[in-house]
Amino acid sequence: MSDTQYTEDNIRSLDWKEHIRMRPGMYIGKLGDGSSADDGIYILLKEVIDNCIDEFVMGAGKTIDISINGDKVSVRDYGRGIPLGKVVDVVSKMNTGGKYDTRAFKKSVGLNGVGTKAVNALSSYFKVESTRDGKSKSAEFSQGDLQDEEMLEETSRRRGTKVMFCPDESIFKKYKYRNEYVERMLKNYVYLNPGLTIIFNGEKFYSENGLKDLLEDNNSESDLLYPIIHLRGNDIEVALTHSRTQYSEEYHSFVNGQNTTQGGTHQAAFREAIVKTFRDFYGKNYDASDIRKSIIAAISIKVMEPVFESQTKTKLGSTDMGGNLPTVRTYINDFIGKQLDNYLHKNPETAEKIQRKIMQAEKERKELSGIRKLARDRAKKASLHNKKLRDCRVHLGDMKNDRRLETTLFITEGDSASGSITKSRDVNTQAVFSLRGKPLNSFGMSKKIVYENEEFNLLQAALNIEDSMEDLRYNNIVIATDADVDGMHIRLLLITFFLQFFPELIKENHLYILQTPLFRVRNKKETIYCYSEDEKREAIQKLTGKAEITRFKGLGEISPDEFQHFIGDDIRLEPVMLDRALSIEELLKFYMGKNTPDRQEFIIENLKVEVDLVEENQL
């Protein structure tokens, strides 16, 4: 029996900021360095902006000014301003805020008054300034501790609230804000709030057509089968179309302006309502998967006091709309059933295109049914979880699934590389999928090849994305290949596979390239890993005297002990992003289709430079 003592001395009470700093994941999800769109530094920004949006929704303030300069973030709204006597309390006292009073905030995003306090506690510098009634008051904090409080002073500034903060580097390691992620977040805000203007580092974001603009901006017109159907009602807005090129479903869902990336009751009801409405309109009991195949849609609803499944609000748990309204499911079904049916009757050309799409999906499904069954059997015989895939505990049933946002799948090639990653990974959240040789070039091939090709079939099964992205098993999919010509080719072939069959994985920022060091520079006292020639030169200068320089030619050459540095807290990921100006079809045709003079010229001007650099580094 253990002799460990358990007495009153073991019981400890944490104050609000200590608890947030000790358990940041409870408040902002994962930490990260800014390479992923759901990393903590973006949640901090979102929590501050949410308060500005609530002001806009309440009719107070149509403009938000945002600037990010390095680690310094500034957010200024022109709303009502925090009541001056409560400026300190609302950012530093738990269970304090205006969101508890539905007279002041009717359909708010931030309901529990925690968001801004989490930003305060997790920032090395935090300042809040409120202006109203010709007076202003400000307070400065560091890691949640009050440093300075200015008394009331007269001012001619416009009313509103300004928050400035610097995320704490002791919590967010080597972080960097990526403008692409910030801009995407801001675009979602203006799509959901027509009439709102957001100015970010001098660039203006504005939307007149709401969710219709969202789908148009995220997809090339040539990729869409028919014009976007855009429907609006009280507390609900939807937009939908079908893609010509992608196979699975793609949804953008929102509740009170919050992007519910994991869906929830409203998204489930929306998918159900679409199926029922199309079946009723066409008078045929089409299979749900045939109706929803290739659909691209967005839904936004507003709910009184919504219940989310976590502080980061990525999944709606509410079943009621609030007030005297019916359930979320009934409300959405009634709206879609009436408005979408009316649209189809008024637009017979679109209705005909949709029915042809459904019938084509039905034909393809039946043709693939036998192949899919054989593919599943092959996946079982291949002992997926023992050979190709070394899974993580989140999916092996050893842990709660509340760490899903942290899950990562490394896709690598070769036994030595996969062995090193497997031995050095975090078994709780990191999994490894081993490729055997170079993948097939899937450009121009049909979905049939996904089931007939063993590598693609097993990769699809590992990701659990055969029918929908909703059940994606890993939040981050990381291509981990050597930094040489062959490694780059494997990356290109894998990206082609995802673009061809699962483009939403890239659209929704799930796909990354693992950056591993090219050099190790060390002396007897210190070791520095370098990711470029410039970093190598800096390291040599830093380690004055004799330094040993090692060039890593492949992942297999990096020992598991060293690999821990590169896939742990200091992991460097480069997100794979789509150029919205190009259609996926055009993109794949240019890079992976037949040689053309344009591509030859592109290769001569660009890729040769990259190859030369790689070869130079290998010498």
What's the per-residue H, E or C state across 18-55?
Answer: HHHHHCCHHHHCCCCCCCCCCCHHHHHHHHHHHHHHHH
Query: In sequence order, which residues have a C-beta less than 8 Å from that of residue 398 and are 6 or more positions away?
Result: none
pLDDT of residue 355: 96
Helices (H), 58-151: 87-92, 115-121
Query: What is the Cα 313 distance to its own chain's centre?
Result: 13
The β-bridge relationship of strands 519-522 and 203-205 is unpaired
Distances (CA, A) of 110 to 21, 248, 311, 373, 390: 20, 32, 9, 46, 39
d(CA 190, CA 211): 9
Mean pLDDT by 10 residues, the chain (619 residues): 52 66 80 85 92 88 94 94 89 60 46 74 94 92 91 87 94 89 93 94 95 90 91 93 85 87 87 96 94 93 78 68 76 94 96 95 84 69 63 68 79 82 89 87 83 86 80 90 83 89 86 88 88 88 85 79 81 81 65 65 53 44
Give the fold, CATH level 3, of 16-205: Heat Shock Protein 90 (3.30.565)
Q: What is the number of alpha carbons within 13 Å of residue 419 lying toward its C-beta?
A: 8
Amino acid at 591: Y
pLDDT of residue 485: 79
Secondary structure class of 595 (helix, strand, coil): coil
Question: Domain boundaries in the chain?
Answer: 16-205, 211-363, 382-516+552-593
**Contact (Cβ atoms closer than 8 angstroms) between residue 406 and residue 432:** no
Closest CA to 154 of 139, 134, 138, 137: 134
Token code pair at residue 45:
């920004």
With residue 124 as reference, give the H or E element that holds it: strand 123-132
Token code pair at residue 434:
């081993």
Under CATH, to which class is 382-516+552-593 assigned? alpha beta
Phi, psi of 230 (to 5 degrees): -125, 120
d(CA 457, CA 378): 9
Strand order in the sheet with 519-522: 527-530, 519-522, 548-551
Query: In sequence order, which residues have a C-beta less than 8 Å from that of residue 600 and are 6 or more positions away?
Result: none
With residue 198 as reference, give the H or E element that holds it: strand 197-200
**Contact (Cβ atoms closer than 8 angstroms) between residue 183 and residue 200:** yes
Query: In sequence order, which residues have a C-beta less than 8 Å from that of residue 377 and are 6 or more positions away?
Result: none
Query: In sequence order, which residues have a C-beta less than 8 Å from that of residue 27 and are 6 or more positions away?
Result: 20, 114, 118, 122, 311
Closest CA to 503 of 445, 407, 588, 435: 588
Secondary structure class of 127 (helix, strand, coil): strand
**Contact (Cβ atoms closer than 8 angstroms) between residue 81 and residue 161:** yes
Q: What is the dihedral sign for C-alpha 94, 95, 97, 99?
A: positive
Query: In sequence order, which residues have a C-beta less than 8 Å from that of residue 372 and are 6 or more positions away?
Result: 451, 466
- Beta pairing partners, 148: 140
d(CA 141, CA 153): 19
**Contact (Cβ atoms closer than 8 angstroms) between residue 75 and residue 199:** no
CATH number of the 211-363 domain: 3.30.230.10
pLDDT of residue 617: 44
* Angle between the N-to-C axes of helices 608-618 and 485-501, in degrees from 0 to 180, rounded to the nearest 10: 140
